[in-house]
């Protein structure tokens, strides 16, 4: 039995068998295909070979430039493998005869050759195995990326253990078959954490050594509440945790029963509590958990996992569906926020040294108006029933906001000409997640209708912390005095200009901070949907004046730890021990 400590990011206990995804390794899915799918699989083979050839030619150019032409030639054998008729014919034969998916057929063909080469006595030739395996890995990666990971083929319930999980991987998971997540890297706001929380799957991240100590098929306990992962547990420990798991479910169920949609503080201030939508499948959860609409709809998912850009019509249909479903409440669509840790296969983002500071979000959109306008028009058209709002991510100054609004006006004019309907008074907001925007909130407030504070990014930009880097993740502190001062200032500047303020970061769904933010005057809280009933329960038990008093005290403190401790004590005093304990699970 081994016990490993990480960061618990999504509560609950998951007990089961491990499926290990090694770093840089992937399991090749095997899938039976129907006769009709054969031509598609062959097409995918050609696509992958072509894409890989392109990758290698780029790599070759780079290496030739850096260390000379001759070394670039090492890739010539790679090309020949990609163009090898015997290999390609063999793969196609397997697809046709065995009726299997292209990834599996390809890896089987390669295996055959590798086995032959390994049997040869000639050392030079045996070494070619490395080349062939390298190229085949590239091809397989290209195939898998395009169709996301093999995880979508999960047939039994497993606990996923990985070095890290990308958005495209988690997005393709069959949620009903995942007992829990455990990853080496990541922090409280890593993608894995956000997804796990919103799907209510127990998760522990930042384990550092999980993949070194855990094998596929191991029995594992993932305790997302305490942040412990226990590998190959003894029977006694297993029994203990089974009990804990049952208890958790019962207590949590009680607090997660949604009540009325509208909520107000004990002394009567009404507050909007809405949900963040990460995946389209979460849409039904809005009603289920009694969220007052959608405070953040991440539109990137429409662009994920495909080669072409979705048309205006396709986007319009997707956005309209959301607007219809969420009615009579409203939805805030955040325009494309690619780059950074978000994955998007196309439009391709060039490699950047510091993607978080690079060409992403509104910067990308303003540079590619032909892409941006398609989305803006689609969102506008979805706003006919006046329950759609629009916000721009990563605004760093007033000029970006102006340019984006100018493009929006252009789109409105074009739509009018085309005779298409939309809400001419659509609310336009700026996401405040860059410190420069926070510090010029008074300027921005004069030219938009609302703010949405994106705390995940605001914190990492303010504290200069890459939240996915496990070495510095501990510095990511929502309660840091600098962060609290920025947030307070944003809210005050907004209110002075009659602009309302929401928050869509993870911070708004954390009880102690929800309490603090309430005191700062935040108007609207948006969070991962399953948190909604709990936070509403909290808000309806708080007097605004108590929260305001807590803000005064908290702002006097000098460290995040002091702030958190203070808020915990205050909340416990106000809510009582029992309620507090359940709230904090």
Partner 1 sequence: MERIEEQVVVKKVHGLHARPATIFVQLANKFNSSVKIESDGEIVDGKSIMALLSLGIHAGIEVKLITEGDDAKEAIDDLKKFLEDEDKND
Active site residues: 191, 504
Rounded to 5 degrees, what angle do the CA atoms 556, 561, 567 make?
65
**Rounded least distance, CB 119 to partner 1, Å:** 8
Among 17, 30, 99, 128, binds partner 1 (CB under 8 A): 128
Q: Which stretch binds partner 1 (CB under 8 A): 18-26, 123-131, 262-270, 372-380?
A: 123-131
d(CA 189, CA 457): 10
Closest C-alpha among 214, 215, 216, 220 to residue 202 = 220
Closest C-alpha among 352, 346, 350, 356 to residue 300 = 346
d(CA 488, CA 555): 10
Taking CB under 8 A as the rule, does residue 63 contact partner 1?
no
**Cβ distance to partner 1 smaller for residue 72 or 180:** 72
On whether the CB atoms of residues 412 and 419 are closer than 8 A, the answer is no
- Which 72-91 positions form the footprint of partner 1 (CB under 8 A)? 76-77, 80-81, 84-87
Among 26, 104, 106, 113, binds partner 1 (CB under 8 A): 113
- Which 129-148 positions form the footprint of partner 1 (CB under 8 A)? 131-132
On whether the CB atoms of residues 152 and 26 are closer than 8 A, the answer is no
Taking CB under 8 A as the rule, does residue 313 contact partner 1?
no
On whether the CB atoms of residues 220 and 231 are closer than 8 A, the answer is yes
Q: Which stretch binds partner 1 (CB under 8 A): 2-10, 26-34, 119-127, 292-300?
A: 119-127
Taking CB under 8 A as the rule, does residue 69 contact partner 1?
no
On whether the CB atoms of residues 504 and 526 are closer than 8 A, the answer is yes
Taking CB under 8 A as the rule, does residue 68 contact partner 1?
no
Among 125, 257, 260, 367, binds partner 1 (CB under 8 A): 125
**Rounded least distance, CB 112 to partner 1, Å:** 9
Taking CB under 8 A as the rule, does residue 117 contact partner 1?
yes
Q: Which stretch binds partner 1 (CB under 8 A): 116-124, 237-245, 326-334, 528-536?
A: 116-124
d(CA 531, CA 552): 26
**Rounded least distance, CB 10 to partner 1, Å:** 46
* Two tokens, residue 572: 């416990």
On whether the CB atoms of residues 291 and 509 are closer than 8 A, the answer is no
Taking CB under 8 A as the rule, does residue 124 contact partner 1?
yes
**Cβ distance to partner 1 smaller for residue 70 or 176:** 70
**Rounded least distance, CB 232 to partner 1, Å:** 42
- Any bridge partners for residue 100, and if so which? 32
**Cβ distance to partner 1 smaller for residue 122 or 578:** 122
Helix (H) or strand (E) holding 124: helix 123-146
d(CA 187, CA 208): 11
Q: Which stretch binds partner 1 (CB under 8 A): 40-48, 122-130, 221-229, 380-388?
A: 122-130
Which DSSP state fits 521? T
**Cβ distance to partner 1 smaller for residue 132 or 494:** 132
Taking CB under 8 A as the rule, does residue 247 contact partner 1?
no
Taking CB under 8 A as the rule, does residue 414 contact partner 1?
no
**Cβ distance to partner 1 smaller for residue 132 or 283:** 132
On whether the CB atoms of residues 185 and 163 are closer than 8 A, the answer is yes
**Cβ distance to partner 1 smaller for residue 39 or 116:** 116
Closest C-alpha among 496, 519, 409, 375 to residue 444 = 496
**Rounded least distance, CB 84 to partner 1, Å:** 5
Which DSSP state fits 348? P
Locate the DSSP E strands across 105-262. 158-162, 178-183, 203-205, 219-223, 228-231
Maximum Cα interatomic distance, the chain, rounded to a whole number of Å: 84
- Which 510-549 positions form the footprint of partner 1 (CB under 8 A)? none
Taking CB under 8 A as the rule, does residue 121 contact partner 1?
yes
**Rounded least distance, CB 107 to partner 1, Å:** 14
342: left (phi over 0), alpha (psi -120 to 50) or beta: beta
**Rounded least distance, CB 132 to partner 1, Å:** 7
Q: How many residues appear in the chain?
A: 585
Closest C-alpha among 222, 192, 227, 189 to residue 475 = 189
**Cβ distance to partner 1 smaller for residue 131 or 449:** 131
Helix (H) or strand (E) holding 294: strand 294-298
**Rounded least distance, CB 79 to partner 1, Å:** 9
**Rounded least distance, CB 111 to partner 1, Å:** 12
Taking CB under 8 A as the rule, does residue 235 contact partner 1?
no
Per-residue interface string for the shown chain with partner 1, residues 457-476, x marking contact by CB under 8 A: --------------------
**Cβ distance to partner 1 smaller for residue 87 or 529:** 87
Q: Which stretch binds partner 1 (CB under 8 A): 112-120, 199-207, 444-452, 543-551?
A: 112-120
SS3 category, 392: strand
SS3 category, 100: strand
Taking CB under 8 A as the rule, does residue 350 contact partner 1?
no
**Rounded least distance, CB 65 to partner 1, Å:** 22
Q: Which stretch binds partner 1 (CB under 8 A): 111-119, 137-145, 160-168, 321-329?
A: 111-119
Taking CB under 8 A as the rule, does residue 122 contact partner 1?
yes
Taking CB under 8 A as the rule, does residue 498 contact partner 1?
no
**Rounded least distance, CB 122 to partner 1, Å:** 5
498: left (phi over 0), alpha (psi -120 to 50) or beta: left
- Any bridge partners for residue 526, and if so which? 274
On whether the CB atoms of residues 275 and 527 are closer than 8 A, the answer is yes
Number of residues that bind partner 1 (CB under 8 A): 20
d(CA 96, CA 549): 72
Whole-number CA gyration radius for the chain: 26
State the sign of the Cα–Cα–Cα–Cα dihedral 214, 220, 224, 228: negative
Q: What residue ranges bind partner 1 (CB under 8 A)?
A: 76-77, 80-81, 84-87, 113, 116-117, 120-122, 124-125, 127-128, 131-132
């Amino acid at each position: 039995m081994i016990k490993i400590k990480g960061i618990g990011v999504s509560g609950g206990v998951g007990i089961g068998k491990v499926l290990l995804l090694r770093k840089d390794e992937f399991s090749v899915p095997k899938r039976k295909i129907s006769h009709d799918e054969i031509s598609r699989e062959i097409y995918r083979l050609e696509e992958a070979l072509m894409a890989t050839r392109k990758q290698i030619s780029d790599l070759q150019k780079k290496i030739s430039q850096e260390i000379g032409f001759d070394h670039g030639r090492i890739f010539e054998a790679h090309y020949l493998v990609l163009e090898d008729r015997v290999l390609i014919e063999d793969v196609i034969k397997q697809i046709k005869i065995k009726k299997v998916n292209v990834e599996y057929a390809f890896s089987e063909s390669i295996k055959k050759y590798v086995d032959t080469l390994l049997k040869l006595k000639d050392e030079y030739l045996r070494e070619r195995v490395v080349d062939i395996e390298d190229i085949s890995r590239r091809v397989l990666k290209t195939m898998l990326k395009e169709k996301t990971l093999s995880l979508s083929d999960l047939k039994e319930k497993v606990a996923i253990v990985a070095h890290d999980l990308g958005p495209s991987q988690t997005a393709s998971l069959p949620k009903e078959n995942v007992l829990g997540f455990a990853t080496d890297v990541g922090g409280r706001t890593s993608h894995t954490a956000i997804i796990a929380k919103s799907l209510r799957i127990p998760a522990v991240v930042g384990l550092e050594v999980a993949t070194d100590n855990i094998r596929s098929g191991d029995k594992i306990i993932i305790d997302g509440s305490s942040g412990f992962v226990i590998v190959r547990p003894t029977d006694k420990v297993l029994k203990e945790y089974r009990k804990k798991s049952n208890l958790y479910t019962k207590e949590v169920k009680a607090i997660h029963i949604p009540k009325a949609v509208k909520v107000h503080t004990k002394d009567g201030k009404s507050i909007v509590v809405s949900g963040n939508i990460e995946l389209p499948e979460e849409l039904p959860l809005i009603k289920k958990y009694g969220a007052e609409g959608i405070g953040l709809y991440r539109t990137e998912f429409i662009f994920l996992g495909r080669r072409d850009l979705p048309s205006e019509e396709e986007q319009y249909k997707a956005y309209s569906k959301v607007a219809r479903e969420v009615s009579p409440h409203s939805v805030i669509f955040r325009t494309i926020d690619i780059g950074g840790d978000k994955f998007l296969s196309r439009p391709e983002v060039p490699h950047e040294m510091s993607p978080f500071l690079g060409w992403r979000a509104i910067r990308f959109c303003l540079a590619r108006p032909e892409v941006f306008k398609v989305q803006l028009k689609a969102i506008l058209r979805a706003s006919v029933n006046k329950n759609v709002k629009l916000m721009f991510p990563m605004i760093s100054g007033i000029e970006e906001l102006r340019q984006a609004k100018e493009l929006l006006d252009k789109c409105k004019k074009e739509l009018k000409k085309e005779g298409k309907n939309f809400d001419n008074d659509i609310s336009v907001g700026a996401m405040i997640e860059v410190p420069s925007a926070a510090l010029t909130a008074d300027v921005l407030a004069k030219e938009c209708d609302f703010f949405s504070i994106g705390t995940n990014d605001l914190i990492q930009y303010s504290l200069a912390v890459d939240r996915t880097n496990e070495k510095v993740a501990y510095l990511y502190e929502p309660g840091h005095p600098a962060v609290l001062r920025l947030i307070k200032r944003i809210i005050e500047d907004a209110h002075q200009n009659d602009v309302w303020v929401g928050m869509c970061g993870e911070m708004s769904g954390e009880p102690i901070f929800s309490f603090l933010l309430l005191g700062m005057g935040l108007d609207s809280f948006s969070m991962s949907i399953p948190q909604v009933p709990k936070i509403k329960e909290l808000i309806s038990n708080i007097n605004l004046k108590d929260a305001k008093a807590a803000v005064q005290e908290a702002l006097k403190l000098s460290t995040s730890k002091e702030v958190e401790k203070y808020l915990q004590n205050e909340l416990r005093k106000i809510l009582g021990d029992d309620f507090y304990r359940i709230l904090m699970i």
